[in-house]
Structure 1
Amino acid sequence: MCLGIPAQVVAIMDADAGLALAETAGVRRQINIALLAADGRDPSALIGEWVLLHVGFAMALIDKAEADRALALLAQIDLLAQMEEGEEP
């Protein structure tokens, strides 16, 4: 099973290498945006955009509403996992 995580692009680290900085739920990490920039898109135009990440690669652009829905579902999964393990949410 594959899992895509929404993230917001906050900075371009190295446009030539296709590297950017993205944030999800307060966590920032370096991602690869080469697949999105391959169609001639200026990498700096991705700043502020929401992307769907899979193993560190931005696979697609998504809108904020879709990102919010996915993040809410992931939060619910985390809460259920905590409850199953007997932890306090």
Structure 2
Amino acid sequence: MCLGIPGRVVDILDGYHGQVALVDVSGEQRKVNIGLLEDDPARPGDWVIIHMGFVVEKTDEEGAAAAMDGLRLLQRGDQG
């Protein structure tokens, strides 16, 4: 399992052969590569997990919230 950041797809950007999306991550929009999701492409509204600028999997709103909670725990240094 990798450390991933959850976000929600806002748009699939033109000019990148369907490989780049604009994703909202905690209110900030970022361009990320969605090319690893060839079998189940990301669409606007989808929740995704981002690692090193690549979307590595799709998730749902509950999974995104759980991932964000985990990141907050890491930031605080909590061990459980």
Give the corresponding residue for 1:85: none
Amino acid at match of 2:8: Q
Give the corresponding residue for 1:39: 39
Q: Which runs of 5+ in 1 are unaligned?
A: 82-89
Greater helix proportion: 1
Deviations 1:17-73 (A, max 9, x none): 51110011111110001111x2274x5xx1110111111101111111010011122
Q: Please tell me whether the aligned partners of residues 10 and 24 of structure 2 are also in contact (alpha carbons under 8 angstroms).
A: yes
- 1:7 pairs with 2:16: no
Give the corresponding residue for 1:57: 54
Q: TM-score, normalised by structure 2?
A: 0.79
CA radius of gyration, larger in: 1
Identity %: 38
From the superposition, tell whether residues 40 and 8 of structure 1 become closer, same or farther in structure 2 (CA, over 3 Å). closer
Q: Which runs of 5+ in 2 are unaligned?
A: none
Question: RMSD between aligned alpha carbons?
Answer: 2.1
From the superposition, tell whether residues 40 and 6 of structure 1 become closer, same or farther in structure 2 (CA, over 3 Å). closer
Q: Give the Cα–Cα distance (whole angstroms) in 1 for the partners of residues 51 and 31 of structure 2.
A: 12
Q: TM-score, normalised by structure 1?
A: 0.72
**Any runs of at least 4 consecutive aligned residues in structure 1 with deviations exceeding 6 A, and if so which?**
none
Q: Give the Cα–Cα distance (whole angstroms) in 2 for the partners of residues 24 and 4 of structure 1.
A: 11
Residue 66 of structure 1 aligns to a residue whose secondary structure is helix
Amino acid at match of 1:72: D
